[in-house]
Structure 1
Amino acid sequence: MSLSRIVFAALILTSSLAVAQTKSSSGNPLFEGWYADPEVTLFKNEVWIYPTFSARYEKQVFMDAFSSSDLVQWKKHERIIDTAAIKWAKRAMWAPAIIEKEKKYYLFFAANDIQNDQEHGGIGVAVSDKPAGPFKDYLGKPLIDKFQNGAQPIDQFVFRDDDGTYYIYYGGWRHCNIAKLNNTFTGFEPFEDGSTFKEVTPSGYVEGPFMFKKNGKYYFMWSEGGWGGPDYCVAYAIADSPLGPFKRIGKILQQDPNVATGAGHHSVLHLPKKDLWYIVYHRRPLGETHPDHRVTCMDVLEFDKDGFIKPVKITKEGVKKVSLR
């Protein structure tokens, strides 16, 4: 390479780095690539996003993760888990949910897209010493491998209540269950009435449950509509108990024909030191017809004076830079 070309390349690199350092907002999508069903969480001074790799089922045999210390610059962590480490998982690895417990990171995922109780698959658990993995199979089999109350075992979310109880919400096919995880995440503890899986399906529910707690109230959220269409959206309910009952309040995230379509399957981030709230979700670029072209985005989540969630404005700009260090 000639000296002039070397100098030119150096100038381009320097310019790119300068732009990255001065970038004040994230932009949407947050990072390149086709990713859906994002789970966002805060580990110490870093925000992590764990999405589904959006492709045909046979190609969904791994998961990547992304981390950021300012919500603007994102680092990609490739193949934090794949089917080589999960012998029973063959395809369709979906909707990761992650929880930190006693310095271990537990990644819950769905695999194989089972259609009945005779097929092998369902919701599994993997474990690692680091949020970037590599994650290894924790149980050697699925944690949930049967249809309970009509719920397909997919789209899991793990919620830790203030009393230290861990609940798992999950379910496709328009049914949602809650179960109480045992202390080691190897199984379940029964509820007071002796049952293990309770149905908590609200009106309009399709898939993608999520729970957070604010001011003593339980905010239960889910996706409605068809994941491949423009009507995909997010609705929510508020309850006094993690078990509900969850009476639907209304939609808070949906398409904007001027920005993107198919906005749904989300998670929520709270930065407690700054009391900032965000919603992370996937959507489909305008004009896109490929069913798997979904991208991960982040926008601001706000509440009114009564604690109800305001409708989210989906944007191309994303969110402002925030220092987490």
Structure 2
Amino acid sequence: MKRRIFIQQSSLAGLGLVTLGPRSPQPEPPVSEFAKTLKPVGRALELEGYYVWCNTPIIGPDDKVHVFFSRWDAKKKMSGWINGCEIVHAVADTPESNFEVTGTILKPRPGYWDATTCHNPFITFFNGKYYLYYMGNSNGKTNTKRIGLAIADTINGPWQRFDEPLLQPGETGRWDDHCTTNPSVTYHNQKYFLYYKSWNTRDYESASGPIRGNRKYGLAIADHPEGPFKKYEGNPVIDFSKRGNNAQLEDAFVWHENKRFYMLARDMGYYNHEYGIIMNARDGKKWSNPAIAFYPADKYIKQPAAPAHLSRYGRFERPQLLLKNGKPIYLFTASQGGKFMTASSFIFKIDG
């Protein structure tokens, strides 16, 4: 390059007006085999006057599909999940049939740790009993979110609730000192693995971005499904913060299949804020890098334009699997929109 041209281009580059070399292309995120199996079924549990979220399914002894889900008054808008949510039971012949709501099973209890909300249900079956793990809080805010438990002998209840939380936050200054939430429990080698989300209070209070704090995942292990659960010393088991740009994750669902643990979650900046991601681990502690598990809604369906009051419109959250003989057969998610422009379940068949 001639000296005069070099000086001119160098000056322009200093002003940001030219690029001296080609930029490296960003690699495409890896796509999981799981993502390739998904066939959209559509929305379910579109309830007038309510937002519906957190749909956790299980096959009952009647061979019907039982779903436990969160709902709250639509007048509260999307923020009603944190202050005024309840957990409700519904039943259908199949995941693709109409669901009949049977009633509320858990409501906030004034004076208890779950006084202001009951949210994030996770249903499972161990040793002849049904275990419904969930999150409650006592002040309508995130800093009292705690994981708790209700147990029943039958899928239709009655449900025995614990008067104390199942898992407390860590000591002040630890990564998980703010709360415990988003429970997911699986059984392996005669142990019960409870995965939970949390973050640090100082990071949360000092954050200035649109998403405060940095959500990570921890593991607690017990000999019995009702605990006591002891936190794994190597926590957090998933921490995306070193990736930069406040990358994080939430809404994890964990299961064990073919001698490996698998985790579905919602991406919060590892790739973007619209994908679902999937990871795997041999021991449930050291997890692989994520691959795409599912895409935004416009990959599968056509929807009206986003209304102003739904800021999460167009993405799927809270992935939960319907398992049959330990294998996933349907994916249940939550998605804003639908018939009443609130939020409902959205279901995929796993065709693979």
Give TM-score, length-normalised by structure 1. 0.70
Answer whether contact 1:121 1:142 (CA < 8 A) is retained. Answer: no
The residue number in structure 1 matching 2:27 is none
Among 156, 179, 183, the alignment partner of 1:156 is: 183
* Aligned: 1:62 with 2:79: no
Cα displacement string for residues 78-115 of structure 1 (whole angstroms, at most 9, x for unaligned residues): 11111249832122321101222233222111112654
* Aligned: 1:268 with 2:321: yes
Rounded to whole Å, the distance in 2 between the matches of 1:222 and 1:90 is 27
* Aligned: 1:46 with 2:64: yes
Q: Give the secondary-structure state (helix, strand or coil) at the position aligned to 2:334.
A: strand
Answer whether contact 1:110 1:124 (CA < 8 A) is retained. Answer: yes
Q: Give the secondary-structure state (helix, strand or coil) at the position aligned to 2:190.
A: coil
Change (3 A) 1:248 1:60: same
Answer whether contact 1:149 1:177 (CA < 8 A) is retained. Answer: no
Rounded to whole Å, the distance in 2 between the matches of 1:231 and 1:287 is 24
The residue number in structure 2 matching 1:13 is none
Considering fraction of residues, name the structure with more helix: 2
Q: Tell me the amino acid that sits aligned with residue 136 of structure 1.
A: Q
The residue number in structure 1 matching 2:127 is 102
Q: Give the secondary-structure state (helix, strand or coil) at the position aligned to 1:130.
A: coil
Shift in Å, 1:223: 1.0
Q: Could you tell me the percent identity over the aligned residues?
A: 14
Report how many residues are paired. Answer: 263
Rounded to whole Å, the distance in 2 between the matches of 1:39 and 1:199 is 25
Larger Rg: 2
Answer whether contact 2:55 2:318 (CA < 8 A) is retained. Answer: yes
Rounded to whole Å, the distance in 2 between the matches of 1:187 and 1:135 is 19
Shift in Å, 1:280: 0.5
Rounded to whole Å, the distance in 1 between the matches of 2:197 and 2:86 is 21
**Equivalent residue runs for 1:51-130 within 5 Å:** 51-55=69-73, 56-57=80-81, 60-71=84-95, 72-84=97-109, 87-112=112-137, 114-116=141-143, 120-130=144-154
* Aligned: 1:301 with 2:350: yes
Among 229, 237, 240, the alignment partner of 1:200 is: 237
Cα displacement string for residues 190-209 of structure 1 (whole angstroms, at most 9, x for unaligned residues): 65xxx3x7211154542111
Rounded to whole Å, the distance in 2 between the matches of 1:38 and 1:94 is 10
Q: Give the secondary-structure state (helix, strand or coil) at the position aligned to 2:154.
A: coil
Q: Tell me the amino acid that sits aligned with residue 281 of structure 2.
A: A
Rounded to whole Å, the distance in 2 between the matches of 1:115 and 1:158 is 22
Q: Which runs of 5+ in 1 are unaligned?
A: 1-25, 304-325
Rounded to whole Å, the distance in 2 between the matches of 1:181 and 1:276 is 24
The residue number in structure 2 matching 1:170 is 196
Shift in Å, 1:37: 1.7
Rounded to whole Å, the distance in 2 between the matches of 1:57 and 1:155 is 13
Answer whether contact 2:82 2:141 (CA < 8 A) is retained. Answer: no
Change (3 A) 1:232 1:50: farther
Shift in Å, 1:58: 6.5
Q: Give the secondary-structure state (helix, strand or coil) at the position aligned to 1:142.
A: coil
Cα displacement string for residues 35-91 of structure 1 (whole angstroms, at most 9, x for unaligned residues): 112112223322221122145147534210112232213221211111249832122
Shift in Å, 1:282: 0.8
Q: Give the secondary-structure state (helix, strand or coil) at the position aligned to 2:156.
A: coil
Give TM-score, length-normalised by structure 2. 0.65
CA RMSD in angstroms comes to 3.2
Rounded to whole Å, the distance in 1 between the matches of 2:112 and 2:263 is 33
Rounded to whole Å, the distance in 1 between the matches of 2:186 and 2:46 is 29
